[in-house]
Amino acid sequence: MTDASLAVPRSRRPSLGQSGAILRRLASSPAGAISLGFILLLFAVAIFAPLVAPFDPIAIAPRDRMQPPSAVHWLGTDQLGRDVLSRLIFGTRTALQVALAGTGGAFLVGMCLGMVSGLGPKWIDSLLVLLNDSLKALPLILFALALVSIYGPSMVTLGVIITLSMAPGYFRVVRNQVLVLRNADYVVAAQAMGASWLRQSMTHLLPNLIGPILVLIAMDIPAVIGIESGLSFLGQGVQPPNASWGTMLSEGYAYLRQAPHIALTAGAPIVLATIAFTFFGEALRDALDPRGAGDRR
């Protein structure tokens, strides 16, 4: 016979049914549905870039430079005669690669340290909080330019910059959540039954953190796109001949009078992607916590 009173309380892990409900709530919000659709489109474009791009994005054709939009080049050509649409498509791939790698790296670093901080002894917690606050206090652009000047501009440097600048946000959220959840009945019970730190973290804590973390990731992606575009605009991010929205914007800016289509078409996806991810993050937050949605509106 099993004594129900001795059973370990279950953690509030989202079930498949709950995920479906979240998706339904997300899709029922116009902002959520439209932004989700746009984001899916961006991912599709990024994944199938070589198939959908009409031209080689790095092949130069100086004689065709700065042509306005036409039937051949739908968004015209840039200062080196490259097809703007093709560069925009491959720029989408670059933006999402950097965004996913950067936020993924920041999430992993922030989550691991946040778990250690929340579950570990007090001195480790104090040390990690101090390090985290110090890192967060660094001015982002100066920090980024310093790293670029030391290690040179590259995708790896860009990933490191984004990871280090974004990780403190994840650390703080994870640590705070862990500090709250570690006293929950199911965690205390797991501890009493001798569950290791790793098991407590992976089985009982992480599933309950995933909601706020997903919202944070969605909200951070536009910031990461902004950082990548900003550094590329300054010539310190993605290097030629690779396509990037920021690089295209920077190059288009120099020809704003002669060929405004270059800067305009490079600026548009930055704005649209930023809006889409922000709206998606807000809609996801509302979908995960429908009770708080009314209060926030």
Nearest to 228 by CA among 265, 259, 269, 263: 269
Q: Which residue has the tokens 């809006």?
A: 275
Q: SS3 for 75?
A: coil
Q: How far is the CB of 235 from other proteins (least distance, A)?
A: 4
Q: SS3 for 198?
A: helix
194: left (phi over 0), alpha (psi -120 to 50) or beta: left
Q: How far is the CB of 99 from other proteins (least distance, A)?
A: 23
| 65 is a site residue for other proteins (CB under 8 A) | yes
Which residue of 17, 62, 139, 294 would you call a contact of other proteins, by CB under 8 A?
62
Span interacting with other proteins, options 120-128, 201-209, 215-223, 249-257, rule CB under 8 A: 249-257
Span interacting with other proteins, options 1-9, 29-37, 158-166, 231-239, rule CB under 8 A: 231-239
| 260 is a site residue for other proteins (CB under 8 A) | no
| 253 is a site residue for other proteins (CB under 8 A) | yes
| 256 is a site residue for other proteins (CB under 8 A) | yes
Span interacting with other proteins, options 124-132, 174-182, 248-256, 280-288, rule CB under 8 A: 248-256
DSSP 8-state assignment for residue 239: P
Residue 77 near residue 66, CB atoms below 8 Å: yes
Q: How far is the CB of 82 from other proteins (least distance, A)?
A: 9
Q: What angle do CA 93, 103, 215 make, to 5 degrees?
A: 110
Provide CB contacts within 8 A for 164, sequence distance 6+.
106, 135, 143
User: Distances from the Cα of 33 to the Cαs of 91, 169, 255, in angstroms?
Assistant: 24, 27, 37
Q: How far is the CB of 152 from other proteins (least distance, A)?
A: 7
| 9 is a site residue for other proteins (CB under 8 A) | no
| 240 is a site residue for other proteins (CB under 8 A) | yes
User: Distances from the Cα of 283 to the Cαs of 48, 107, 213, 297, in angstroms?
Assistant: 27, 20, 14, 11
| 294 is a site residue for other proteins (CB under 8 A) | no
Site string for other proteins, 21-60 (x = CB under 8 A): -------------------------------------xxx
